Amino acid sequence: MLSKRRCPHTGVVNFFLATDPYLAVGSVVKGERTGYLWRCYTDPCETAGSVADMKTAERRVVELCRRAAATTTHFVDAA
């Protein structure tokens, strides 16, 4: 399960897994010129990009973080 929190000072939206609610696994921030920059920090889906709107950026981060969590869970179960 993912949760998200927006920093009131920077405007960055950080995403967290329930297993570690203090370590961000992804983020979305408004770009300086246009659009929104998103990042997913979890292996094996570590990547980044930019899109025109916040909802699309959030969806991309959620999709990748869930995929990474499923992959990690699969490896843990196989051990």
Over the chain, what is the mean pLDDT? 87
Convert the pLDDT of each residue in 34-46 to its tens digit: 899 999 998 888 8
Residue with the larger pLDDT of the pair 70 and 37: 37
Kind and range of the H or E run holding 21: strand 20-30
Sign (positive or negative) of CA dihedral 17, 22, 26, 27: positive
Max Cα-Cα span within the chain: 46
Kind and range of the H or E run holding 56: helix 54-78
- Supply φ then ψ for residue 44, to 5 degrees: -95, 15
Query: pTM, whole model, 2 decimals?
Result: 0.80
